[in-house]
């Protein structure tokens, strides 16, 4: 078997053995995962792990989310072609690439300058031109392009900052992984009206922390 065939077999196995059993059944999402080359977004030292069910280390102590978590977030956000997306935590740029294939425009914020450059380079090489990576702190920055149709936090938070919900358009959705180890909840918030929100937490997972977001006090009286 040639290396290229090995790669395609590994990709197929990832989709069939990890992603589909995790209730990712959207045909468009599955097709996208077979088309976008995940291995091109993995640091060279870890390329052999590109399709393994694990978080892959990135520079600066960060990690790529496990493939099934990326896929399920993408499916459950149900992006439309006309939508404008904000991602916080670019990592290697892989999630931004997936989002960009489903949406009109993606702005991805990355705190670590080395990762921001890595994500930019990876997206460019992959021919993804409707995703823009900015070296900014997503826990603090307000963008002139807001509000957004979709906001995705590509990592976990202890609690959801309410300020982020103001960046959503009415009808917009936010996806994040909220909570403490050993169990966190995938959390999806839809803005139904000016002050009306609906929250669903359909599945459990664990994901690395996004930096600089507030941690709740651990003191109990």
List pLDDT tens digits, range 147-198: 999 999 999 999 998 889 999 999 999 999 999 988 899 999 999 999 999 9
pLDDT at position 217 is 59
List pLDDT tens digits, range 105-135: 999 999 999 999 999 999 999 999 999 999 9
Tokens representing residue 202 in the block: 């359909």
Task: Count the neighbouring beta carbons within 10 Å of the beta carbon of residue 91.
Answer: 30
- Is residue 89 within 8 A of residue 154, CB to CB? The reply is yes
Tell me the fold of 3-205. Rossmann fold (3.40.50)
**Eight-class DSSP state of 41:** G
Task: Count the neighbouring beta carbons within 10 Å of the beta carbon of residue 16.
Answer: 11
Task: Count the neighbouring beta carbons within 10 Å of the beta carbon of residue 32.
Answer: 17
pTM, entire model: 0.94
196-205 and 84-88: which strand pairing?
unpaired
| Domain range summary for the chain, segments of one domain joined by + | 3-205
Q: 3-state class of 81 per DSSP?
A: coil
């Amino acid at each position: 078997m040639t290396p290229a065939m090995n790669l395609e077999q590994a990709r197929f196995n990832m989709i069939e053995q990890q992603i589909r059993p995790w209730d990712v059944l959207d045909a468009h999402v599955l097709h996208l995962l077979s088309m976008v080359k995940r291995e091109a977004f993995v640091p060279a030292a870890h390329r052999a792990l590109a399709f393994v069910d694990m978080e892959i280390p990135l520079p600066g102590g960060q990690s790529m989310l496990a493939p099934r978590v990326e896929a399920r977030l993408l499916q459950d956000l149900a992006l439309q072609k006309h939508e404008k997306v904000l991602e916080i935590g670019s990592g290697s740029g892989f999630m931004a690439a997936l989002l960009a294939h489903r949406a009109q425009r993606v702005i991805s914020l990355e705190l670590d300058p080395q990762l921001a450059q890595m994500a930019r380079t990876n997206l460019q090489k992959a021919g993804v031109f409707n995703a823009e990576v900015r070296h900014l702190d997503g826990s603090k920055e307000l963008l002139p392009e807001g509000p957004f149709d979709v906001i995705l936090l590509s990592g976990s938070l202890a609690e959801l900052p309410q300020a982020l919900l103001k960046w959503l358009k009415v009808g917009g959705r936010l996806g994040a992984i909220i909570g403490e180890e050993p169990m966190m909840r995938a959390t999806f918030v839809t803005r139904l009206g000016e002050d009306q929100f609906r929250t669903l937490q359909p599945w459990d997972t664990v994901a690395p922390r996004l930096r600089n977001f507030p941690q709740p006090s651990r003191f109990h009286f």
